[in-house]
Amino acid sequence: MNAPQWDNLILDRSAVPTPIDDGQFRAWMSRHRIFVSSLMDGEMTPFRSAVRSWILEWDGHPVMWEEITPQDERPQTAFIDGVNQSDVFVLLLGTRYGIPDASGYSPTHQEANQAKVRGIPRLLFDREGLNPSERAGMLIDWLKSMYVEVSTGKFTDANDLVRRLERRLRELVSQQETTWLKLGPIVVPGTVRQVTSSGDTEFFISARVTDPTIQRALSDLGNYRSDVNPDRLTWGTRTFAVSLENVESNPISASTHEFVITCRFRPDRADSPMNFAVEDIDPAEQAEIWGRRALFGQAGIDRSYRAVDHHTAPEYEPLPNLLQRYGASGWLAEGMTRLYFVERILSKYEGSIERLDVGPATSSSVHIHALFRMSTHERRDVDIQGNVPIPNG
């Protein structure tokens, strides 16, 4: 497989996710479960009720005491299970911390910890206007630890809370629904339509761009003076060697141009990822080791396994180094994480990506959970999950 380009990326830093309409938002809500965590006391009950009603109005699925009636298990066990089955974690905090149990944490704190372990989006909403003297000391300490990790916001009353929750969830959905793609070294949000006819495959790329650097790079594609080689297209969970066919640019506004780029699949004689055991370590184990090294920047295995150490070494810089070099954070870091994983693992190991969840990005890391199915006679599944560090985040 021809080497994907990561040394001199051209990143669309000015890109923003495409806003979603009400129909798209309702459809997303109907497919997802939202865990609502807070104390259930006189202070927080009105806010819980407002959030629950809002979720139901949008055909969503609230996971909370008002919806869960534990039968054969302890209530806290049922709620931890609820976190494990949810897609988003919403935490509402007021003046009280709650009562710690034998673990040293309150039930609400334990639920938040479990959401962190799972890597699902965590949204914190904190009552505005409270003096430190009104709050429990353990709650103040907990809040300080969370401010650098999760998406936070203040609210004044129930209506304000619901407005802020909807705005943040819409931002989250638009980020998830807007696809990052990579054409050679160019990384930009856009869409790809793949058409196969008579054994020939074409790709039609559409991207709206405001960044002048990206506009110039795309306009110059195919020009003999261009330093950009659009030799590989990656998006979603797919990557292909391609050759450029055509580039069209249409002005949308004074600053925005829509590019329509046509590429054709180019069989690459170097497309030969192999799965073979090395020193009694099978391909699935090798892929797991590669994931820890390439995605998380972890050290290789014992030097006594020299061949395995060689075959699991990242051909390019580990992803954390690249995020640091390009100063990537937030939504851009999520896009780079997805693209890096897809290009690198499919160029190294033969198989298919069955699952790829990336995000949310915090100030210090990006969560990834991937399931890669090896194309061997055993069809082994490789489960790779963890937090990609964002150095100096």
Residue pLDDT, tens place only, 135-174: 999 999 998 888 767 878 899 999 999 999 999 999 989 9
Instruction: Reply yes or no on whether the pLDDT at 393 is more than 60.
Output: no
DSSP 44: T
**In angstroms, rounded to a whole number, what is the distance separating the alpha carbons of residues 376 and 286?**
13
Q: Mean pLDDT across the stretch 298-319?
A: 72
The continuous run of DSSP H or E covering 324 comes out as helix 319-325
Q: Residue 283 — very low, low, confident or very high, per pLDDT cuts 50/70/90?
A: confident
Cα distances (Å, whole numbers) of residue 145 to 105, 114, 141, 361: 14, 15, 7, 16
Task: Give the global pTM.
Answer: 0.80
User: Which residue type does 26 have?
Assistant: R
Helix/strand/coil (H/E/C) assignment for every residue in 149-215: CCEEEEECCHHHHHHHHHHHHHHHHHHHHCCEEEECCEEEECEEEEEEECCEEEEEEEEEECCHHHH
SS3 label, residue 240: strand
Domains of the chain with CATH codes: 10-16+178-265 (2.40.30), 22-176 (3.40.50.450), 283-389 (no CATH)
Q: In what order do the strands lie in the sheet with 33-37?
A: 61-63, 33-37, 88-93, 122-127, 151-155
pLDDT at residue 1, rounded to an integer: 43
pLDDT at residue 284, rounded to an integer: 85
**In angstroms, rounded to a whole number, what is the distance separating the alpha carbons of residues 381 and 288?**
10
Instruction: Reply yes or no on whether the pLDDT at 244 is more than 90.
Output: yes
Residue pLDDT, tens place only, 37-78: 999 999 999 999 999 999 999 999 999 987 765 555 566 777
- CB distance 227 to 186 below 8 Å: no
Strands 351-361 and 257-265: unpaired
Residue pLDDT, tens place only, 115-138: 988 878 899 999 998 898 999 999
Residue pLDDT, tens place only, 255-277: 999 999 999 998 865 555 666 66
Q: Which residues contact 116 (CB under 8 A, 6 or more apart)?
A: 122, 149
Instruction: Reply yes or no on whether the pLDDT at 285 is more than 90.
Output: no
Residue pLDDT, tens place only, 193-241: 999 998 899 999 999 999 999 999 999 997 877 889 999 999 999 999 9
